[in-house]
Structure 1
């Protein structure tokens, strides 16, 4: 019975993903999802409380594993590797992921719907906030080891993110930047690391 329930839940996520990709989050509805599934809205609500909750699950399934692998770089850091090398690896992988067409599409959707629903807050609590807490802990460890100057670890993490994304994020989201050549990303990462260590290096 439990297996059937899990299969049904996955079917809902798969169908919802198709609909979100076809017509967007704003136009999609619980009625549309249930109709395509061939069931009732009541059945759908047995699995998910809202369209927003389904969207978060779709997003988690599509990019969650990649983000977990990304942040594992910092979680597994034991201090034996050069900090700059670890941040360089993280920043390069981070940019390739957040600038990908799939993630950019999600970010555009979230910004568009941020004031229309709870989607933005739900996404932040389940995604970025958790990820940047990992970076904050990484920064804190290296402050304690004397590799970074003492500062607020959370603020340090946020400023690191801003520096890494500075040359890309706005232009990519607005469609001004349409390609992300790996060599250009590497160059921008080095510039962001130079700036970061000028601010927080000892």
Structure 2
């Protein structure tokens, strides 16, 4: 584990945060506390290792402090607490996946079935990964007593797999390649078609490891065949 900076009490007042900010900013143009992206990533990285190892409930701020190699006071300059830190970790991981899916849609200029295959494989691979499944399990475990955490998990960003796919479908409708009345419903239908027998088995522990690439590809190809049979523009 990384070495720990000198322990400091949790920040509970604006004045204390200001004092920490002043100390952390220092001189010579260094960033003010709470504004250093490298430090923020360092904290999230440490928190992620702890959350993935022991779960949300068992994770303590002391454990995260040691793993991240920062003081407790520094953590509280960047985050309000464990829930805020967990949500930041989820939002960061989601942003990476959204960027990956956007890249697929923006760089693949092939036929509709090829683009849908790349999108489906990317989406399902992420959804069935250890990190995603572990994160979802943690949220579900605390959802009843911490509904705000569940809300942040499922609505962290207006841009997600559904919205990216919906925009793509709308562009293909405009080109006359697809005939879809409700693109939001169609996007959700396609994503659901890509997941049967995979995601739920992962979430409930029936499938202890992520499905292999061949199984994901076979499932996605079947989803595309069913989806396009219904929505392809009739000549």
- The two structures share one fold, judged by TM-score above 0.5: yes
Q: In structure 1, which of residues 67, 72, 91 is the aligned counterpart of residue 120 of structure 2? A: 91
Distance 1:149 1:29, change over 3 A: same
Alpha-carbon distance in structure 2 between the residues aligned to 1:185 and 1:109: 24
Larger-gyration structure (1/2): 2
Q: Could you say which residue in structure 1 is the equivalent of 2:71?
A: 39
Distance 1:93 1:9, change over 3 A: closer
Contact (CA 8 Å) 1:75, 1:138: kept in 2 or not?
no
Q: In structure 2, which of residues 192, 195, 213 is the aligned counterpart of residue 182 of structure 1? A: 213
Q: In structure 1, which of residues 149, 162, 167 is the aligned counterpart of residue 192 of structure 2? A: 162
More displaced, 61-70 or 108-117? 61-70
The CA deviation string for residues 73-115 of structure 1, in whole angstroms up to 9 with x for no partner, is 12445xx520011101111222222212222111222222233
> Mind listing any 5+ residue stretches in structure 2 that lack a counterpart?
1-29
Distance 1:184 1:34, change over 3 A: closer
Contact (CA 8 Å) 1:99, 1:172: kept in 2 or not?
yes
Q: Could you say which residue in structure 2 is the equivalent of 1:113?
A: 142
The answer on 1:100 being equivalent to 2:101 is no
More displaced, 122-131 or 161-170? 122-131
Alpha-carbon distance in structure 2 between the residues aligned to 1:181 and 1:40: 40
SS of match in other structure, 1:92: helix
> Mind listing any 5+ residue stretches in structure 1 that lack a counterpart?
none
Contact (CA 8 Å) 1:74, 1:86: kept in 2 or not?
yes
Distance 1:25 1:128, change over 3 A: farther
Distance 1:100 1:87, change over 3 A: same
SS of match in other structure, 1:120: helix
Higher helix fraction (1 or 2): 1
Q: Could you say which residue in structure 1 is the equivalent of 2:21?
A: none
Q: Could you say which residue in structure 2 is the equivalent of 1:16?
A: 47
Q: In structure 2, which of residues 137, 145, 164 is the aligned counterpart of residue 134 of structure 1? A: 164
Contact (CA 8 Å) 2:91, 2:156: kept in 1 or not?
no
Alpha-carbon distance in structure 2 between the residues aligned to 1:33 and 1:3: 22
Q: Alpha carbon RMSD of aligned pairs, Å?
A: 2.7
Alpha-carbon distance in structure 2 between the residues aligned to 1:75 and 1:121: 29
TM-score (norm 1): 0.83
SS of match in other structure, 1:165: coil
